A = this chain, B = another copy of it.
Amino acid sequence: MARAPRREPDETRERARLQVDERRAQLVALGLRLFSERSYDELSIDDIASAAGISKGLLYHYFSSKRDFYAATVRSAAESLLARTDPAGHGPDPEALLAALDQYLQFAEEHASAYVALMRSGVGHDAEVAAIVEDTRARFVARLAGRLGLSEMPPRVRLALRGWVGCVEGSSLDWLARRDLPREDLRDLLAQLLLATLMAVEATPQAAE
């Protein structure tokens, strides 16, 4: 087949795709704000279209359903959380750990109702949303393992790190409900608990081969 002599049709298509991506990103940013203020059940597709100043039909052009839109905002929030908590430098560094925990808790605080809604149990689950949350946890574990120089992670080390991620979530949920400790103190406590976890995991001798 002859190659197309000019690239304009491709460029036009590319430009259109970028415009769609940009519009989707704007809507997702709006969604993050809306879902931080109102719950999934409270917010209708009409509310979302109205807040975006577009028709419901146009909203469906970008997202196939309310669930699809919600999953996109959760995915975007997860990426933003992972980026914000990515510590500078390499290797184990207590300051970097404290900075990352600070960002995590600030994020939970800024999006408190959305964070609580996402983390708490319920019914009528959405496999896509659950997979995004579980993938985010796995990426936290992998990042921790990387910082600790653990190229191979025995199951009990992975389970302990995954446990600590659950500990961060559990104590954050309790903290958001009561706010009876300064954020810095919770940050320090969680850092201590990670160190305690690592010590506990190393403390037990691995079974001899």
Contacts and interface: CB of A to CB of B under 8 A. Distances in A.
- For the residues of A in contact with B, the DSSP-based class is helix
Interface centre among A39, A162, A165 (most CB of B within 10 A): A162
Interface centre among A119, A125, A137 (most CB of B within 10 A): A125
Interface residues of A, number: 56
Contact of A156 (B120, B159, B189): B189
A174 interface: yes
- Protomer copies: 2
A163 interface: yes
A195 B196 CA distance: 9
Interface string A156-168: 1011101111111
Contacts of A160: 171, 189, 193
A197 B86 CA distance: 25
Interface in A110-150: 117-126, 129-130, 133-134, 137
Interface string A189-200: 110110111011
Interface in A50-64: none
